[in-house]
Amino acid sequence: MAGRKVITVFGATGAQGGGVAATFLGDLGLRSEWDVRAVTRDPSQDSAKQLEMKGAEVVKADLDDVESIVNAVKGSYAVYGTTNYWEKASVEVEVQQGRNLADAVKQAGVQHFVWSSLLNITELSKGVLPNVYHFDSKAKVESYVRELGIPATFFMPGFYMTGIPGDMLKAQGPDGPWVFALPLSADAQIPMYHPKDTGKYVKAILQNADKLLGKRFLGATAYMTPKEVVERFSKAFPAIGANASFFQVSEDMFRAAMKGKGMPDFIVTELFENVKLMDTFGYFGGESLEPTHELVNDSLTTWDEYVKEAEAFKGLL
């Protein structure tokens, strides 16, 4: 059909990219305008085949393979780019992958690049929190994208609410109380984000390109305190939630728990500083979510809604 545009989605079988692909394949208005090209390293996996069945063009590419990226983005009007720092836990690898993608996007003449970015915490904190590598590395790629002059918007995903159930908020033994434990204060501001909503944010970004090219776009439903997280959990599950509470663990306790999971020291420090960020300089540096909410027309997933579908909370009613 004449006038149709291609959005190429990297990480299409992952959390963020999967959310983008799902929205652009499932929204009738978007389907009338956009074709989805889903990029994956393994087109044979079930999740890739499911995307193909839903109408996506599935292509193989690897962010370490420049030629494969160039081929993947050819003819794209828009590209959603994301990298996975945790796969190799290497700033150098993530920055190079992001630069590879940016170079390909520039070469292809993409009209709108949406880069999944984060703030440079070393700069924001003036060196107080110098080890939040997975933030800083994405910020370095953002700087490179800006240097290249690529027409881009920088999507900033918040704190994954999907990581809370069963890990940070869990029962203390078979019959013990439920406790939400993190090394931050009870009134810290957590920007709650569900990755399945990513496509809703990207939809708003592309529909408001005139306002958002060159800008950052925060991704979160709301700021919530740990105290509020527990209160909403207790309201959803009154029987077992009556004794639920938030516990501010010490740095030593947090480090011991993370090391007990086999994490190396540098990652333990990174995670600790990541959490402390919300108690000090702010996950988004204190920025309001209002500009985002003014432009997103689709309903964003709330914590109240998510607790009812979280696998770790199944059977609690």
pLDDT in tens, 50-105: 999 999 999 999 999 999 999 999 999 999 999 999 999 999 999 999 999 999 99
Q: CATH number of the domain at 5-224+274-313, please?
A: 3.40.50.720
Q: Classify each residue of 140-152 as buried b or exposed e, where b means 16 or more C-beta atoms within 10 Å of its C-beta.
A: bbbebbeeeebbb
Which H or E run includes 231?
helix 226-236
* pTM score: 0.96
Share of the chain above pLDDT 70, in %: 99
State residue 315's pLDDT score.
Answer: 86
State residue 24's pLDDT score.
Answer: 98
280-309 pLDDT, tens digit each? 999 999 999 999 999 999 999 999 999 999
Question: Is a pLDDT exceeding 50 seen at residue 16?
Answer: yes
State residue 213's pLDDT score.
Answer: 99
Identity of the residue numbered 157: P
**204 φ/ψ angles, rounded to the nearest 5 degrees:** -65, -40
In this prediction, residues 239-244 reach a mean pLDDT of 93
92-115 pLDDT, tens digit each? 999 999 999 999 999 999 999 999
Question: Is a pLDDT exceeding 60 seen at residue 119?
Answer: yes
151-172 pLDDT, tens digit each? 999 999 999 999 999 999 999 9
197-229 pLDDT, tens digit each? 999 999 999 999 999 999 999 999 999 999 999
Check residue 113 and report its DSSP letter.
Answer: E
- Distance, CA of 53 to CA of 184 (rounded, Å): 44
- Distance, CA of 93 to CA of 272 (rounded, Å): 22
Paired strand residues for 35: 6
State residue 2's pLDDT score.
Answer: 53
Which H or E run includes 228?
helix 226-236
Question: Is a pLDDT exceeding 80 seen at residue 272?
Answer: yes
- Going from N- to C-terminal start, the domains of the chain cover 5-224+274-313
State residue 3's pLDDT score.
Answer: 78
State residue 1's pLDDT score.
Answer: 46
Average pLDDT score, the chain: 97
The confidence band for 122, taking pLDDT boundaries of 50, 70 and 90, is: very high
Question: Is a pLDDT exceeding 50 seen at residue 261?
Answer: yes
Cα 214 versus chain centre, distance: 19
Share of the chain above pLDDT 90, in %: 97
